[in-house]
Structures are given as C-alpha cells and as structure tokens.
Chains A and B, each alone.
Chain A
Amino acid sequence: MTADLVIEAEGLVKTFGKTKALQGVDLAVPRGTVLGVLGPNGAGKTTAVRILSTLLPPDAGTARISGFDVVRDAERVRRTIGLTGQYASVDEDLSGRQNLELFGTLLELGRAGSRRRAVELLEWFDLTAAADRPAKTYSGGMRRRLDLAASLVGSPDVIFLDEPTTGLDPAKREDMWDVVRSLVTNGSTVLLTTQYLEEADALADAITVIDHGRVIAYDTPEGLKRVVGGQTLEVRPSDPAHLSRIAAILSEVGSGAQADEIRKGVLAVPVTDDAALTESVARFAAAGIAVTELSLHLPSLDEVFFTLTGRTASEDDTTSLKEVAA
C-alpha cells in the first residue's frame, strides 16, 4: 500500500449477540483526504467508527490510526483523533464554554490554553453569543456545531464524523460541509459516515459503501457515479402542454436516453455531465419554453444500493441500529 495512510483497517469483524455488525471491513484513508462511508441504518458505519476511535475492540482484524494500533496503542490513538457523532456528545447541563474548557483541561492544554481554545472555537462556530447558556437550550444546529467544536479542542489530526448532518435542514447542512472542507484545508484527515450520496459526493475524495457489515464498493465519487448511473436532470415546464417538446430537447441533451415523466408534470433524463444543465437552459430559452423547476440530482442511497446489490437499502435494519448502539 502507499506510504501515507492515516487510517488503515483490515478485516474488521464485530458481532453483537446474533447481529453481525461488521463482517470483514477494510478501510484506507490517505493523509489530508476525506473518506465518505456510505450506508443505510444498521450497515455497520457507527460500529466501524467506534472501533477506529478506540471505543470498541474489534472481534477480529486490525486498525491503525497514524500508525498506532487502536487496541494496543489506544492511548496514543486518542491523542490524535477527534470524534463527533450520535454517541459522542457534550454535557447538556454545562454551557458551551464550560464543555470546551473541560475538554481542554482533559487534553492537557492548561487553564489559560483551554480558555483560549474555547474562545477561539466558540467564535469559529458562531456560538459566542450562546457560550454561557447550558447546551440543552441550544437549537439542533447549534448543538451539532458544539459537538463538532468539542471534537476539535485538541486540534486532532484525524477527525471522525458520524452522520454529521443527519437531521439538519439543507442550509445548516451546507454550513457543516464548509466546516469539513476547511478542516481538510488545514491538513486534517476526515472519515465521515453518511446516508446521503450527495453528501459523500460533495466532500469525499473516496467513498466506501457498506451494507450489512461488508464493503460492497470502494471508489472515487466519479467512479461510483459512473457505476450507479450518474445524475438525473429534472424539469417541470410552466405549461404542461410543453412536456413533449421538452422531452425531445432532453433526449438530445441527455446523450440520447429517453426522458421519463417521473411525477405528474416533471420530466427526468439521465445525464453524464454537469454541462447538460446549462445546455438545456439555453435550449429551453431558444425554444421559448418557460420552466418552473430545473435541477440536477444524484441517485438516492436507495438507487445506489439497488444498482450495487439488486435490492433497495430497505428499512429492515432499524432494529439492528439499536443493537449496535447498545
């Protein structure tokens, strides 16, 4: 393998009672990159993160962070990682500032250092105004930012983000994406789990798709999109009478594929590159057709799974999520 892998896992296995959470998972993340781990509820994403962040020993397999074994050198691993996720939260009775200062003390930053770092992170995450309120009074987005800030107190090399945007509205999600991008700009290596291909595509250098505790795909976002069918262009004309003319234009723009009416009054066609969007805009304008909606979509997780496994990422796994959490 190449020299500078910051996160390396080979053959991770973890079983909880009858639930096989992980059945031999390999992961590799080079320095300064983002790996997106994509999968439905119960796929084993959280279990993998818990093993990599030393919270849980694997039943079999090995994992190293910055060259340190997560079991034998757990202590050193803990000094280089930051963990944010459903299960690594802050103390709700403490204020944002008190939480950050507590973690600073635990990370040996000293009293002045902890205080300074807390001020810096509160500022950075736009929490200064709420700094001295108990965390339980924070909104969902603020809580998420504080959770993330708490994992950055020690300026970690490696950051684990377990579903960082689940439950956030689209605007807050984009804010969170900006944060992740700037972390990488600053040299951190990030492993993030997500249920959204869109999120993995926006942030990740590589994507590992996990299903039932197994890796079913590992590729760049472009490679994965090629496999699962790339993007879909969706158009809703102002006047439904224009549907057939639009269908004709879309077929030409979208590399010959037939446009389908996926919802009433909405046509969709698979496209291979982003230029299709601008081209179709120009063509509609030239033809004098007004549209009320025009958008590019990546396949949903369900569609990805259907392509990769021949079945949908069904909800049959919600129970095993609880088991994994236990």
Chain B
Amino acid sequence: MSTLVAPPRTTNAVLSTAVPNPRPFRLVRHSMALAKRSLIKTWRTPEALIDVTLQPVLFLVIFVYIFGGAVAGSTHDYLQFLLPGILAQTIATGAIAIGVNLNTDIAKGIFDRFRSLPVPRSAPLVGAVLGDVVRYVIVTVSTLAIGYLLGFRIDSDPLRAIAGCLLAVLFALCLSWLPVFVAMKVRTPGAVQGLMFALIMPLSFASNVFVSADTLPGWMQAFVDVNPMTHLVAAVRGLFLGTPVGSHVWWTLAWCAGFVALFMPLALRAYRKKI
C-alpha cells in the first residue's frame, strides 16, 4: 500500500477547477456514456435475458400446437398469424425490466454519485432507456429465429420485415418510459414487476395478438381498437406477411409519441423528487 502516498493530482493535466466547461450536446454524450453502462450490465448478466428469450418460445409452442388447429385450422397458418403478435407481446414485457433495474439501482447509491457530478439530471434515466435498445433487438432477433425454426416465413420483403422489427423496437423504447415512471413511484422492484405485469397482460390479451379482433364481442372490440398493442401487432403483421397495414403504422407511431410525451416528463419529475 506504499503506492497510496503518491500524488494523485499532479501527473494529470486536469487540475481541479480545470474540469473543462460543458461542451455542447452534453445530454446526448452523457446519456450515451450511461447507456454504455447498461450495455455492459446486460453483457455481464446474460441470464437477465432469460425472461425475454424463453417467453416467446413457450408462448409460440403452447399456442401454435395447442390452439393452432382449433383457431386457424392449421398450425402453420396460425404460426404465421401469431408470431408478429408474440413479438409485440414479448418486447412490451421486456420493457418492464428497465423499471425493475432502475428501482434496484437507485436504492444502491450509484445514482447519488451521478447526481453529485456535473451531469444533466435526466442523463442517467435517458441513458438507461437507450441502453435497453440492445435488449429489444435481442428479443426481436431471438423471437424471429425461434419462429423460423418452427416454420414461420416472412412473406413480404426484407425491407418491410426490417421496418416491422424497427417499429417493434421503437415501440418498446417509447413504452419503457411508463415502467421508468412506475419505478420512480413505488418502493420495491417487486412492486414495479407486479404493477407493470398487471398493465401489460390485459393489453396483450385484449388485442389481436392471439385472435383476429373481429371475433371478439362488440364491447371488447371498442377497447381492442384503441389498444396500442393492436396497432403495433397489425402493423408488424402487415409488414411481415405483406398484407395491407392500413393506418396501423401511423397509429403505432402516434402511441409511441404519446408514451414519450406523457411518461418521460412524469418520470423525470418523479426522479428529481425521489432523491
């Protein structure tokens, strides 16, 4: 430990007040640095991805082989119909994890360190949200890969297929401000998980994920028609299968904008108040 007595400041050109003045785009750069932190964490703990990789496997296998014959007459037809829906459901569920992680993080003190640094207050949250994009890409790729193994085929073209994937990732990215907001408001990670599940599950079942919406009773159709999940699924389904997408892409984008416009300011405000 004799090394401890060496001078800590002199060898470096940056002396105390010489921490440079903020350069432009600080929020962007700091958020990216903090997003990298989330990436490293995902990389270090791949087991945290189990939920989002196992869930689509289970749902696809269960629904395709148990209900496929009854719902669509053939398991292949049902797989074609179901996969875009499962992708949307899985990616929306995957967005819950960020709330759970943030709630854990804030209790640990690393956020206090961030707040004692000359870093924009929102950067740690923005960084965490951006860092999770990689998770959504992994979800998308793994769900498609499993679908392919089971026999799913894209009937449109690669460009539209990629557009469908990007739309799903964007949806999760924007939706994740809701769990972030919840994470700022409740006390435990478990509560974030429970509350978000209670919100996401009805959204994914009272939708066109599993069955075509026109088979549902009228009162439920009213809900299904405005459900953001319905629009996302219809858009992705159209983009994957080459069927008409109608206004669903626009509706999905509108919902994305809505999530960010509403929950991002709420989350940032709650974050400032929380600590």
Contact = CB atoms under 8 A, between A and B. Distances in A.
Interface of A: 53-55, 66, 75, 78-81, 83, 86-94, 98, 102-103, 105-109, 113, 116-117, 120-121, 123-126, 134, 150-152, 154-157, 175, 178-179, 182-183, 185-188
B14 A109 contact: yes
16 contacts: A80-B19, A86-B109, A87-B112, A89-B109, A102-B33, A102-B37, A109-B14, A109-B19, A117-B12, A120-B8, A126-B4, A155-B8, A155-B12, A157-B17, A178-B1, A182-B8
B108 to A, nearest CB: 6
A154 B8 CA distance: 11
A88 B113 contact: yes
Contacts of A186: 7-10
Contacts of A156: 16
Contacts of B108: 89, 92
Nearest to A150: B113
A117 B14 contact: yes
Interface of B: 1, 3-20, 22-23, 29-30, 33-34, 36-37, 40-41, 44-45, 108-110, 112-119, 123, 275
B16 A178 contact: no
Contacts of A188: 9
Contact of A90 (B4, B16, B110): B110
Nearest to A91: B110
A88 B109 CA distance: 5
A81 B16 CA distance: 9
A54 B115 contact: yes
A98 B40 CA distance: 9
Nearest to A84: B113
A124 B6 CA distance: 7
A124 B4 contact: yes
Contact of A79 (B17, B30, B114, B115): B17
A93 B113 contact: no
A108 B19 CA distance: 7
B3 A157 contact: no
B114 A108 contact: no
A143 to B, nearest CB: 12
A130 to B, nearest CB: 14
B116 A53 contact: yes
A102 B34 CA distance: 8
A108 B20 contact: yes
B15 A155 contact: yes
Given A55-B275, A156-B16, A105 B44 contact: no
A75 B116 contact: no
A205 B113 CA distance: 27
Contact of A120 (B11, B30, B44, B116): B11
A103 B113 CA distance: 9
Contacts of A126: 1, 3-4
A157 to B, nearest CB: 4
A183 to B, nearest CB: 7
Contacts of B12: 113, 116-117, 120, 155
A150 B117 CA distance: 11
Given A90-B113, A106-B33, A175 B44 contact: no
B117 A107 contact: yes
A152 B4 CA distance: 13
Contact of B33 (A90, A105, A113, A157): A105
A182 B123 CA distance: 33
Contacts of B113: 83, 88-90, 103, 150-151
A283 B146 CA distance: 86
A121 B118 contact: no
Given A88-B113, A155-B9, A156-B16, A79 B44 contact: no
Contacts of B123: 106
A93 B45 CA distance: 8
Q: Which 9 A-B pairs have the closest CB atoms?
A: A89-B109, A83-B116, A105-B33, A78-B118, A157-B16, A88-B113, A93-B41, A87-B109, A87-B112
A178 B4 contact: yes
Nearest to B18: A155
B28 to A, nearest CB: 12
B186 to A, nearest CB: 14
B38 to A, nearest CB: 10
Residue in B19, B22, B37, B119 with the greatest tally of chain A CB atoms within 10 Å: B19
A105 B127 CA distance: 13
A62 B41 CA distance: 39
B116 A81 contact: yes
Contacts of A109: 14, 19
A154 B44 CA distance: 27
